[in-house]
Chains A and B, each alone.
Chain A
Amino acid sequence: MSSKVPTIKYDRGTLLLTNIDDEFANTLHGVQFDDRINAYRAQARHYRDIVMALHQSGRQYMDKAKDFSPVRLSLKKNISPFPHQKEALSKWEENGKRGIIELPTGAGKTVLSVLAIASVQRPTLVVVPTIDLLLQWERVLSDHFNIDIGVYGGGRHEKATITVTTYDSAAHNAEFWGRNFGFLICDECHHLPATAYQFIAEALVAPFRLGVTATLERNDGGEFVCEELLGSLNFSLPIDALEGKYLAPYEVRRVPVELTAKEREEYDSSRKTYLNFLRSTGVSFNRPDGWANFIMICQRSAEGKRALEAYRTQRKIAFSSKSKTDALWNILKSHRNDRVIVFTEDNETVYRLSHQLFFPVITHHTKVKERKHLLSLFAKGELPVLLTSKVLNEGVDVPDANVGVVLSGSGSVREHVQRLGRILRKRPGKEAILYEVYAAESSEMNTSERRRQHRAYYGKE
């Protein structure tokens, strides 16, 4: 049964190439000789290029790597895409059905992906960042395809022709599933460059790939990793190009609040301790490892430990001062007939507010059943307010939300744009408002300035 035909096999996230002559192997990108096993090896993502090279060289070969075939995936009903969706899909198809599409939230990335699945007709793995998105994708895919959708994550372990999973589950299972899918979709693909997640795209043979995101750009150059693993950026459109016609019109209101006298005193004192330590040690946050360096230096002395504690105290005061709660209460009262999402930087504030105001909470601790229930009541208008930290930042479709309140957050432009995106889904007559509540004369002012450096905020005050 032995033969000398070049053979490709799948091995735990990699491809093994046997019976391949050295000269030809050396022409293949990403292929290396593995002297542990006396064969050539490559990351599984190079499957498409290797097979094409073998095919083009006229060699006969045996493909034991992929374990999928074309499938018939027909849509339940016809979709009439918006012009921007049509153009994006066409650009992606022209690029060999590989690459990234960048569209604002509410512009229809999920429906676009449904059209892509129908175009590729291969078993598909959809990778999403959160449990909420997992459920949302399951719902949308079930609405459009006549097959059972597999869900892997949030306590469910169903693998099917179309499977939706989280980045965490996919990273864990990629080496087991790597040969089973012909199409990989990474939703909110700006997450993919995280060290633990890159393996997902590396370990799958999937010849067809699509990344969708509202904000591809990263500060660390991770967008190039996305393009390397999924294909180049095929199409991009900013929020303002769609506002009014495809996205709800919106305004941004900034609400500065004064700390109470006691909070101010404690804030100033803690901040002074923290800043003095920074100056004396020369720690700079302008370097990529600045934060890690700060933590390390803090551990070395009692003064450092005090500085770290002071840092945490001043941050906590700025994030959750009494004045902020009062400002939030006033905003909520003026929107008591609307649908409001309140965003915070930390879970502690969310639970504190829930204890105080008895509004429901969605954090990463919230179980799937409860999330589903709360989002459905919110959609029906039976719950006017949802409190959340970061889990609703991205992707989740809450079309009826028309007011967002950022009570605290990081300086990340992406996070701020994503939070705005939660309230922009178009509805007849809808006008969205994003409030940003920040502690005046505190470091939060700078944080607020940093996160607003995006065209979505220019001229919006």
Chain B
Amino acid sequence: MLNRDLLMFRLNKGRIKPSFVDLQNRSLHNLARDLIQLCDKNIGQSRQYIEELIEEKTSRSRRKKISKGLAKLVLDRCEFGEPKPNVLENRLELFSQSAKIFRKVKVDDSIEEYRLRIQEHLSQSLDSVEEGLFADLKSRRSLKEFKGMSPEELLHRYNLAQVQGLILYAERVELTIEEPDIVKVRNLLRWLRFCRLVANISKSEVTWKITVDGPGSILSMQKKYGLQLAQFFAVVPNLEKYHVEAVVRLPRKPVASLSIDSTSGLCSHHKNFGRGHVPEEISVIAEKFESSLWELSTQPEPLSLMYDQICVPDFRFIHSDTGEVVFIELFHRWHRSALTKRLDMFDSVTEQNLVLGLDKALVSDSHVADIVEKNDQIFVFNSFPSLSKLAKVLKGFE
């Protein structure tokens, strides 16, 4: 992410337009390459040293703001190590010695005389002692790992970060998706939940409109959701046809609207986003499920439920005669907190044929067991629901 002072944009007639770098620009390509190589080649050097090299490189650039932005993104990919051993112990020992010497100084002693007396108690020169005195400070830590990337990737990250940097100052994001790949929408909505945001979703046959903001945004709460919105936006460029609108309130700038779409050329670094992984167990069920009455889909559309909940069901069954639709959402033993939230609101979602399947391990909780006992739209399975278990559930809707 880029700080506000590194953002490049144009403000005109209430619209704000990020200034993207040209991915084909030779000199920027070279600068990106140099910055990446600089970190790559200086594994083991101190942060201060690396920052000085970067400063030297960027200060010579004619496009200082861009080069500082690229440098920030490169530094974000650096992992700095732990300090050398015994720095703290040596420092404490030195302070303990100097305290004893200080207690004995005379009123007319100069700083130099005091320092000389300390030197007498040391096995090394004062200069080298000073050099290592705070070697454990952040600026002195050495570069342990650099998560490398290509110059193109860095320039793509820069352009994306320009938009994210503006979205940090947005109150909400309105996303329109045309003819979406349902696997990607499922993943997008999962990501939205991960970002702890609220979405209002409406959809026509080919268009999804998703308004994203935070739960407290209507209450003048001091909580800002900009960071979460910016984090959410990072995956949006994975969609084929999208359009984003956001109202941006930069400090000491007029309010402006931001408009970005799939023609902007942005590229997400969340590479695995679009690959809808279908667990093996679900593939097996899809393969072996045989019914003349029910048609099965293992990649159903997400459901928008009451109280801003979004449900990403694992199965959708459609009855071939009546057209009745039944969704099944599975909760495994690692879904305990998600289950708590779903059960909390379950009374309000039963208007849809949503059935919950719970791993036996989750029912050990007496509160959950009580709800399962009283509710015929919840069933329990052991590790994974069998075909016969699913058939029994569907029987209830025939």
* Residues of A that sit less than 8 Å from B by CB: 1-3, 9, 11-14, 16, 18, 30, 32, 34, 36-39, 41-43, 64, 175, 195-199, 202-203, 289, 292-293, 296, 325-326, 329, 332-334, 336-337, 351, 354-361, 365, 367, 369-370, 373-374, 377, 382-385
The interface size bin for chain B is 35 or more
What 6 pairs across the A-B complex have the smallest Cβ distances?
A358-B98, A198-B222, A2-B347, A199-B223, A360-B95, A12-B215
Knowing A289-B252, A337-B103, A384-B99, say if A202 contacts B223 (CB, 8 Å): yes
Residue of A whose beta carbon sits closest to that of B98: A358
The contact of A3 among B118, B138, B308, B347, by CB within 8 Å, is B347
User: In the complex, A334→B196 CA distance in Å?
Assistant: 58
The 0/1 profile, CB within 8 Å of A marked 1, for residues 345-358 of chain B is 01110100000000
10 A–B contacts, CB within 8 A, in A order: A2-B348, A13-B216, A14-B219, A30-B219, A41-B218, A43-B219, A329-B110, A333-B105, A370-B92, A384-B103
B-chain residues with CB within 8 Å of residue A2 when the two chains form the complex: 347-348, 350
Is B387 an interface position by the 8 A CB rule? no
Inter-chain contact A370/B222, CB cutoff 8 Å: no
* Complex contact A43–B216 (CB within 8 A): yes
Is there contact, CB below 8 Å, between B130 and A37? no
List 18 additional contacts besides A14-B216, A41-B219, A359-B99; criterion CB under 8 Å.
Answer: A2-B347, A2-B350, A3-B347, A12-B216, A18-B307, A39-B307, A43-B221, A202-B216, A334-B107, A355-B130, A355-B133, A357-B98, A358-B98, A360-B95, A365-B137, A377-B96, A382-B99, A385-B102
Interface code B89-113, partner A: CB below 8 Å = 1, 0 otherwise? 0011011101100110111011100
B111's closest neighbor in chain A, by CB? A329
Give chain B residues whose Cβ lies under 8 Å from the Cβ of A355: 130, 133
A346 CB to nearest chain B CB (Å): 15
Pick the contact of B371: A1, A13, A39 (CB < 8 A). A1
Q: Say yes or no for B361: interface residue by CB 8 A criterion.
A: no
Chain B interface (Cβ within 8 Å of chain A)? 88, 91-92, 94-96, 98-99, 102-103, 105-107, 109-111, 114-115, 118, 130, 133-134, 137-138, 196, 198, 200, 211, 214-216, 218-219, 221-223, 251-252, 306-308, 344, 346-348, 350, 371, 374-375
Name the residue on B nearest A202 (C-beta): B221
Given A2-B350, A358-B94, A358-B98: A9 and B222 within 8 A (CB)? no
CA distance A374 to B91 in the complex (A): 11
B221 touches A13 (CB 8 A): yes
State whether A1 touches B306 (Cβ < 8 A): no
Report how far A16 CA is from B344 CA in the complex, Å: 12
Known: A41-B215, A336-B102, A382-B96. A175 touches B223 (CB 8 A): yes
Contact (Cβ within 8 A) B111 A383: no
CA distance A334 to B108 in the complex (A): 10
Task: Give the distance to chain B from A401, nearest Cβ to Cβ, in Å.
Answer: 15
A357 cross-chain contacts in B, Cβ below 8 A = 98, 111, 114
What is the distance, in angstroms, from B211's C-beta to the closest C-beta of chain A? 8
**Known contacts being A2-B350, A382-B99, is A296 close to B221, with CB within 8 Å?**
no
A377 CA / B100 CA spacing, docked (Å): 12
Contact A32-B111, Cβ < 8 Å, known A358-B95, A383-B99: no
| A9 near B223: Cβ-Cβ < 8 Å | no
- State how many angstroms separate the Cβ of A143 from the closest Cβ of chain B: 26
Residues of chain A within 8 A of B216, CB atoms compared: 12-14, 41, 43, 202-203
Question: In the complex, how many angstroms separate the beta carbon of A64 from the nearest chain B beta carbon?
Answer: 7
Contacts of B221 in A (CB 8 A): 13-14, 43, 199, 202-203
Residues in A with CB closer than 8 Å to B196 are: 12, 175
Q: Which residue of B98, B107, B134, B374 is within 8 Å of A359 (Cβ)?
A: B98
A37 in contact with B107 (CB, 8 Å): no
User: In the bound complex, do residue A36 and residue B105 qualify as a contact, i.e. CB atoms below 8 Å apart?
Assistant: no
Q: Min CB distance, B166 to chain A, in Å?
A: 18
Which B residues are in CB contact (< 8 Å) with A289? Answer: 252
Q: Which residues on A sit within 8 Å (CB–CB) of B344?
A: 9, 64
CB <8 Å contact, A202 and B98: no
CA distance in complex: A87, B96 (Å): 44
Cβ-defined contact, B111 with A356, below 8 A: yes
B107 touches A333 (CB 8 A): yes
B223 near A336: Cβ-Cβ < 8 Å: no
Inter-chain contact A359/B375, CB cutoff 8 Å = no
Check A1/B307 contact, CB under 8 A, given A12-B216, A365-B138, A382-B99.
Answer: no
- Complex Cα–Cα for A223 and B92 (A): 41
Q: Which of B103, B219, B308, B346 contacts A336 (CB 8 A)?
A: B103
Instruction: Return chain A residues, CB-CB under 8 Å to B374.
Output: 1
Q: How far is the CA of A363 from the CA of B196 in the complex (A)?
A: 34
| A-side contacts of B215, CB under 8 Å | 11-14, 41
- With A41-B218, A43-B216, A337-B103 as contacts: A292 and B133 at CB distance below 8 Å: no
A281 vs chain B, min Cβ distance (A)? 16
Chain B nearest CB from A150 CB (Å) reads: 20
Shortest C-beta distance, A174 to chain B (Å), equals 8
Which residue on B lies nearest to A293, using beta carbons? Answer: B252
Q: Are A199 and B307 in contact (CB under 8 A)?
A: no
Do B308 and A36 touch (CB < 8 A)? Answer: yes
Residues of A contacting B200 with CB < 8 Å?
36
Do the beta carbons of A34 and B107 come within 8 Å of each other?
A: no
Residues of B with C-beta under 8 A to A36: 198, 200, 211, 218, 308
In the complex, how many angstroms separate the beta carbon of A293 from the nearest chain B beta carbon?
Answer: 8
The reply to whether A34 and B218 form a contact with Cβ atoms under 8 Å apart is yes
A3 to B308, CA, bound (A): 20
**B111-A358 in contact (CB<8A):** no
Residue of A nearest to B139 (CB): A365
Chain A residue nearest to B198 in the complex (CB): A36
* Nearest neighbor of B138 in chain A, beta-carbon distance: A365
B residues less than 8 Å from A385 (CB atoms): 99, 102
Closest to A38 in B: B306
CA distance A72 to B347 in the complex (A): 35
- Residue of B with least CB distance to A370: B88
Whole-angstrom CA separation of A354 from B91 in the bound complex: 11
Report yes or no: A42 in contact with B219, Cβ–Cβ below 8 A. yes
Q: Give A89 to B92 CA distance when docked, in angstroms.
A: 42
Closest A residue, CB atoms, query B215: A12
Chain B residues near A43: list those with CB within 8 A: 216, 219, 221
Alpha-carbon separation in the docked complex, A16 to B309 (Å): 13
CA distance A14 to B118 in the complex (A): 59
> Which chain A residues lie closer than 8 Å to B137 at the CB level?
365
> A1 touching B347 by the CB < 8 A rule?
yes
